Homo-oligomer: A and B are copies of this chain.
Amino acid sequence: MSKIKTVAVVGGTHGNEFSGIYLLRKWQQPTAVVRDSFSIETVFANPKAHDDNKRYVDHDLNRQFSLIDLANNDLASYEQSRAKVINQQIGPKGDARVDFIIDLHNTTSNMGPCLILLQSDSFNRQMGAYVKMQMPDAVVVFEDHTPVEQNHFLSSIAPQGVIVEVGPQPQSVIRQDILDWMDEMTTHILDFVHLHNTNELIPLIPSYEAFRYHETLSLPEDEQGQRIGMVHRSVQDNDFKPLRNGDLIFTLFDGTEVHWQGDYEAYPHFINEAAYYDNNLAMSLAKKIVMETKG
């Protein structure tokens, strides 16, 4: 990995995830965040959705950044337009002006301070190790199943990008504990970039516990597509706790309890995330891994 010269810190990609928006305001003060070895710019990604106090106006902004969609001028809704503007501003994807993107998100799920890495190259592995060393309660999740070019996240505009995902926080609320976690994790990431640039990285742990995204579970539906159940109370809030074959997972509104049928030890996260109801999703499942820092 060559040096990182320019970093974009993005908040408000979802308009009702408040921590990133308030963190940007704080960081827009001169001298709030300065590192000698690279420049930092802030991007308030979806101001209209924030004004409307919603996740998005027309479409989820954080699903509009595949190369094929960015090139399709028929995609012209508010967020599809914002995506093209942001791609001009800090991209363009494939030949981006910005080297590294930190996209700040909240979840209603009990995920704590969570670093989502979209690649498992040496740079990302080392970043995960560094963040775990500085912030032992942080959770590192690899969502590296999609090549960057096909990835539709905002953070895929640059060659390197991560998502800082912190919860639990209700939509449209700002909690100090969550804001402090986001501030701390983002600061560690910027410190890591600086140490990477200056070849001053401290000796890193050789490996660490992490999670790798595996699959997504839907909420129970009937044959007409009506939702007929909810996340079981024994799973609620137990993000990153093991789920094994036969464990309770859903309660139907008629009282029936549903057991998970799976052939591996799963680690649910994004459990009962409010924004995922649009697509009737109940949670994501990961596998626990030991990530080698040098890979």
Chain A interface (Cβ < 8 Å from any Cβ of B): 22, 25-26, 53-54, 108, 168, 170-177, 179-180, 230-233, 236, 251, 253, 272, 274, 277
Q: How far is the CA of A206 from the CA of B28 in the complex (A)?
A: 59
Cβ–Cβ contact A172 & B274, under 8 A: yes
User: 10 additional contacts, CB 8 Å, given A168-B170, A170-B274, A176-B236?
Assistant: A108-B173, A172-B274, A173-B274, A173-B277, A175-B230, A175-B272, A176-B230, A176-B232, A176-B251, A177-B236
- Is A253 a contact partner of B22 (Cβ separation < 8 A)? yes
Tell me which of B53, B171, B253 contacts A170 (CB under 8 A): B171
**Contacts A26-B253, A253-B22, A253-B25 known; A272 to B173 CB distance under 8 Å?**
yes
Q: Complex: how many Å from CA A168 to CA B53?
A: 20
Residues of B within 8 A of A272 (CB): 173-175
Copies of this subunit: 2
> Contacts of A22 on B, CB cut-off 8 Å?
230, 253
CA distance A162 to B176 in the complex (A): 33
Once bound together, how far apart are the Cα atoms of A25 and B168, in whole Å?
Answer: 28
Which residues from B are CB-within-8-Å of A175?
Answer: 230-231, 233, 236, 272
Q: Which residues from chain B contact A53 at a C-beta distance below 8 Å?
A: 277
**Smallest Cβ distance from A253 to chain B, in angstroms?**
6
Task: Tell me, rounded to whole Å, the shortest Cβ–Cβ distance linking A257 to chain B.
Answer: 10
State the Cβ distance, A161 to closest chain B Cβ, in Å: 26
> Within the assembled complex, what's the spacing in Å between the Cα atoms of A175 and B277?
13
Contacts A170-B108, A170-B171 hold; do A233 and B176 have CB atoms under 8 A apart? yes
* Alpha-carbon gap, A26 to B170, bound state (A): 25
Nearest CB on B from A233, distance (A): 4
Cα distance A22–B226 when bound, in Å?
A: 12
Interface pair A233/B177, CB less than 8 Å apart: yes
Residues of B within 8 A of A54 (CB): 54
Q: Offer 18 A-B interface pairs, CB within 8 angstroms, sorted by A.
A: A22-B253, A53-B277, A170-B274, A171-B274, A172-B274, A172-B277, A173-B274, A173-B277, A174-B230, A175-B233, A175-B236, A175-B272, A176-B231, A176-B233, A176-B236, A177-B233, A177-B236, A180-B233
**A274 neighbours in B (Cβ, 8 Å):** 170-173
